[in-house]
């Protein structure tokens, strides 16, 4: 997915190079380049950092399960 960000950065860089003034070039780089790419990397890269490495069990071993507590109640 990072190839999309690299391609976008290239296109925006070419747009900034052809801008008529330095101010317009910096505005293009900031608002069309840096901010969207930062959001993209945060969204795509953020999912990888929040994934769990392994499956967690539903219950801890020291907790009784629901079947044991139901049989004691009458």
Under the banding of pLDDT at 50, 70 and 90, the label for residue 9 is very high
Domain boundaries, the chain: 2-45
Tokens 């780089």 sit on residue: 29
Under the banding of pLDDT at 50, 70 and 90, the label for residue 8 is very high
Q: What is the mean pLDDT of the chain?
A: 78
pTM: 0.57
- Coil, helix or strand for 64? coil
pLDDT in tens, 18-54: 999 999 999 999 999 999 999 988 888 765 555 555 5
Q: What is the pLDDT of residue 54?
A: 54
18 secondary structure, DSSP code:
T
Number of Cβ within a 10 Å radius of residue 73: 5
């Amino acid at each position: 997915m990072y190839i999309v960000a690299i391609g976008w950065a290239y296109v925006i860089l070419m747009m900034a190079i052809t801008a008529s003034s330095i101010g317009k070039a910096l505005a293009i780089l900031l608002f069309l380049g840096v901010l969207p790419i930062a959001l993209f990397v945060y969204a795509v890269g953020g999912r990888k950092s929040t994934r769990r490495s392994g499956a967690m069990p539903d219950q801890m071993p020291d907790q009784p399960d629901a079947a044991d507590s139901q049989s004691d109640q009458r």
